[in-house]
Each structure stands twice: as C-alpha cells, then as structure tokens.
C-alpha cells in the first residue's frame, strides 16, 4: 500500500466516523429540530405532506437525518471505488477501472436524482408559494401600494424574500443590501426616525405585523386615527394584522403645487419637517419648464391611472385641468427615460429620490422605460465575444493538429 492510498484511507475513515457521530446527534435531537422549524413559521406557509399528512416541521426534521445517512452511504461506496483504483495503482485491468469510474458516475447520478426529485415532488411552487388572504388583499389593492413589515421574525422574512416577489407584491423593506446607494442611505436616514412620514412619502398604504405591536407604534406616533385594520389572522406567534395607513401617497399622483430646492440637505430637512405637507406639494431638485406656472385655483392633486406596471416599463394616464408635476413614487435613476404623448420628456428628481414629470393641462399618456446602461451592454457583449473567439481558436487548433498528423 503506497503513501497516497494510506492517506486516502485515513481521510475516508475520518469522514465516515464524523458522519456516524453526526447521525447519532441528529437522532437524539429530532424533537428539538421539529420545534425550531415550527417556531420559524414553516408550518404556517407550507401545507402538510399530501400523502402522509406530516407537518412541514416534521418532514424537515427528518430530512436532515436522511441527508446525513445518504452522505454516509455515498462516501462509503464512492470512497470504496476510489480506494480500489488507488490500491492497484494503475495496474488494474481496463474492465475494473472502467467499472469503478462507471460506478462513481452512477452513484453521483442516483444521489442527485434522489435529492432533486424529493424537493420537486414535495415543494412544487403551487404549494411552497401557496396563496392566502393577506397576499390576495395586497394584490387586489388598486394603484400598486407598497407594504411595510413591523418585524422580520418568523415567517415574515420568508414572505419578504420569497412570497412577495412571487405574488408581485411591492414592499418598502429590502431583503439584502450590503452596499446600498448613497441616495437610499441619505433619504431613509432622514425619514426613518418618523415611520409614518416614511410610509407617506413611499406610498406604503399597508403595514403588516403583530397586532399589539402595530397598535402601540401607531399610538406612540400619534397616527392611530389614520390607521384601520384591514385584515386579522392567527399564527403560532399570536394575533397578526394587516393595517391600512390612510395617509399614504398614491404610487402615482399629480400635484399642482411644487417647490424647487437644489440643495440635497435642505430638501431632506424639508421632507422630514412636520409642517411640510407632501399631499399637496412636491419638492423638485431642479427647475421645471420655464413656462409651467402654478394655478392658485387648482385642486391639490389629480388622480393618475396606472395602465401598466412592469419592472422596466410603466404606463400612466392622467387628465389634469391645471399645470402640475406628475409624481411617480419610484426611485429616480439615470437609466430611466420618459415620453409624454409619444414625445421625450425630462424626468425631474422629486422628493429627493422619486421621479417627476412636468405636465400641462390635457389628456396625457406617460411612458417610463428603463434602458440598460451602455457600459453594461459592452461588458456583456465583450464577454460573449471572448468566449466565442476562444471556442473558434480551440476548434481551429484541434483541426490543425489533426491535419498535421
């Protein structure tokens, strides 16, 4: 037995020993794992197994033990095949060598097929992303309002990460942002201290979380009379509620009063000022068209119809009787372009971080489109071009060597 074979045998024995010890520990703590998964809220949003009726926490607790058993079996069989190859040190007959390689490939295929088929059978999207009354209420709300979470504990983080995107529900909360943009940091740093002002500016019409926690927060902020309970439901964490904050701005609205403040710090201070009323006035960081004049007799706002709302294309329709600023409460970004009745229009930076367009009276169709920056397109095409050239060079080299023989 050579040195390599001895080292491999020792490593194989160590892995098998650790696997056995891990299986023993998992077997002794099955109830603890079930409680952990149940407390995390999995039983609430994953239905029981259709065949056995087992709860999700029970199935997931058993899965970890089964996964460790499969690791032990695969390591034992695969390690045995490799050990045979090392033992003969290249002197094995071709049938034995090919048989060992074939056994390894078959073992890997069976293991992966078993793991993948399990998840596809038990967690199809229709079950994993099952609908409920909360999602239906949020989806059916007119004007695509946002929702905010009071907590991310338990099932709420899963709803934010998986269910909201799947059901096309917009939230003000961000799942992960290791390097948030500077305008995000500045804006939320100014308005986070007063949650109702943040919800108002960001079109957050619904707030979701524990009922008692929400009631205490609204009362402490002095907005309890502006909040209605839209929906209540029970969970293992107690009574939960979907609250409706009636003072939230619409996702798109036309305001007929505006102020121009070029300084970012002054704009943020004005937005956070309790005396400022975003229901009637929008703040612009650059001047609107010179011929756009405010009408003192105009109403504070004009409703805007959302015709289409996609990630990269938004279509709005509005018929104002007075000049004003169409405010779309989505983030301002240089990649967005806009047209009004088919003609290019300038997108104004409104309320520090949102998008606005100056409009004259009349029936208007506004289209926002997001265009991928040219630098990103060049990088993408450059990478694909290099891959293509590499494949062509490899093929030509192989052909040249074949002709040379």
Q: Note the pLDDT of residue 92.
A: 60
Q: Can you tell me the distance from the alpha carbon of 71 to that of 19, in angstroms, rounded to the nearest whole number?
A: 7
The one-character DSSP state at 95 is H
Q: Are 338 and 344 in contact (CB under 8 A)?
A: yes
Task: Name the phi and psi angles at 228, rounded to 5.
Answer: -120, 150
CA 113 to chain centre: 28
Instruction: List, in sequence order, every beta strand (DSSP E) within 236-323.
Output: 238-245, 252-255, 258-260, 282-284, 301-303, 305-309, 313-318
Per-position DSSP letters for 37-68, written without gaps between them? HHHTTHHHHSPPPTTT---HHHHHHHHHHHHH
Per DSSP, the three-state class of 29 is coil
- Classify 404 as helix, strand or coil: helix
Output DSSP code: residue 40.
T
pLDDT for res 347: 96
Of 337, 372, 331, 285, the C-alpha closest to 185 is 331
Q: What is the CATH number of domain 252-370?
A: 2.60.420
CA distance 361 to 323: 5
What confidence score (pLDDT) does residue 129 get? 81
What's the CA dihedral at 221, 225, 230, 236 to 10 degrees?
Answer: 50
CB 267 within 8 A of CB 352: yes
Longest dimension (CA), the chain: 97
Q: Is 31 helix (H, G, I), strand (E, B) or coil?
A: helix
Measure the CA angle with vertex 339, ends 335 and 342; round to 5°: 145
- Listed in sequence order, the residues at least 6 apart from 241 whose beta carbon sits closer than 8 Å to its beta carbon are 208, 209, 210, 211, 214, 229, 230, 231, 232, 233
Sheet holding 324-331, edge to edge: 258-260, 282-284, 348-350, 354-359, 324-331, 252-255, 301-303
**Tokens of residue 25, six digits:** 């520990």
Residue 149 has a pLDDT of 96
Q: What is the pLDDT of residue 103?
A: 79
Fold of the 133-245 domain:
D-Maltodextrin-Binding Protein; domain 2 (3.40.190)
Helical residues (DSSP H) of 123-223, grouped into ranges:
125-128, 133-140, 155-158, 164-166, 182-191, 195-201, 211-220
Residue 201: both structure tokens together: 């500016």
Q: Tokens at residue 101, please?
A: 């390689």
Q: By the 8 A CB rule, do 284 and 340 touch?
A: no
358: left (phi over 0), alpha (psi -120 to 50) or beta: beta
Strand partners, 291: none
CA dihedral defined by 128, 129, 131, 137, rounded to 10 degrees?
150
> Roughly what angle, to the nearest 10 degrees, separates helices 56-88 and 3-28?
170
Residue pair 299/308 in contact by the 8 Å Cβ criterion: no
Which letter does DSSP use for residue 312 in this model?
Answer: S
| pLDDT tens digits in sequence order for the chain, 405 residues long | 567 777 777 887 888 788 788 777 777 777 887 887 777 766 765 667 666 778 877 877 777 777 777 777 877 777 777 777 666 665 667 777 677 777 777 877 777 776 666 554 455 666 678 889 999 999 999 999 999 999 988 889 889 988 999 999 999 998 877 788 899 999 999 999 999 999 999 999 999 999 999 999 999 999 999 999 999 999 888 899 999 999 999 999 999 999 999 999 999 999 999 999 999 999 999 988 767 888 888 999 999 999 999 989 999 999 999 999 999 999 999 899 999 999 999 999 999 999 999 999 999 999 999 987 766 677 777 888 888 888 888 888 777 877 776
Domain boundaries, the chain: 3-128, 133-245, 252-370
Contact predicate 317/366, CB 8 Å:
yes
């Amino acid at each position: 037995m050579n040195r390599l074979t001895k080292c491999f045998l020792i490593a194989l024995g160590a892995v098998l020993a650790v696997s056995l010890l891990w299986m023993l520990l998992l077997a002794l703590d099955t109830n603890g794992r079930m409680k952990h998964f149940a407390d995390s809220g999995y039983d609430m949003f994953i239905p029981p197994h259709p065949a056995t009726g087992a709860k999700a926490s029970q199935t997931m607790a058993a899965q970890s033990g089964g996964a460790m058993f499969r690791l032990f079996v695969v390591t034992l069989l695969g390690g045995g095949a490799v050990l045979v190859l090392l033992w003969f040190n290249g002197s094995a007959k071709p049938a034995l060598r090919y048989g060992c390689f074939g056994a390894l490939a078959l073992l890997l295929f069976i293991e992966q097929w078993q793991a993948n088929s399990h998840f596809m059978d038990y967690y199809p999207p229709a079950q994993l992303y099952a609908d409920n009354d909360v999602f239906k209420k949020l989806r059916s709300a007119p004007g695509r309002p946002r929702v905010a979470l009071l907590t991310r504990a338990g099932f709420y983080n899963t709803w934010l990460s998986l269910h909201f995107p799947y059901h096309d529900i917009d939230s003000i909360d961000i799942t992960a942002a290791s390097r948030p943009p500077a305008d995000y940091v500045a804006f939320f740093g100014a308005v986070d201290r007063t949650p109702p002002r943040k919800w108002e500016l960001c079109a957050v019409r619904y707030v979701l979380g524990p009922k008692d926690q929400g009631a205490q927060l609204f009362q402490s902020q002095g907005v309890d009379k502006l909040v209605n309970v839209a929906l209540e439901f029970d969970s293992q964490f107690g009574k939960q509620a979907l609250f409706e904050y009636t003072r939230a701005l619409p996702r798109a609205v036309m305001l007929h009063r505006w102020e121009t403040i070029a300084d970012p710090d002054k704009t943020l201070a004005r937005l956070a000022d309790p005396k400022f009323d975003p229901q009637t006035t929008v703040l612009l960081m650059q001047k609107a068209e010179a011929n756009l004049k405010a009408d003192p007799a105009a109403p504070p706002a004009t409703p805007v119809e959302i015709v289409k709302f996609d990630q990269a294309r938004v279509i709005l329709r509005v018929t104002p009787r007075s000049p004003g600023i169409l405010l779309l409460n989505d983030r301002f970004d240089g990649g967005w372009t806009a047209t009004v009745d088919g003609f290019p229009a300038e997108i104004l930076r409104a309320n520090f971080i949102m998008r606005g367009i100056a409009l004259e009276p009349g029936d208007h169709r506004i289209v926002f489109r997001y265009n991928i920056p040219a630098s990103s397109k060049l990088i993408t095409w450059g990478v694909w071009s290099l891959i293509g050239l590499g494949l062509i060079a490899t093929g030509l080299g192989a052909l040249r060597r074949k002709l040379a023989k």
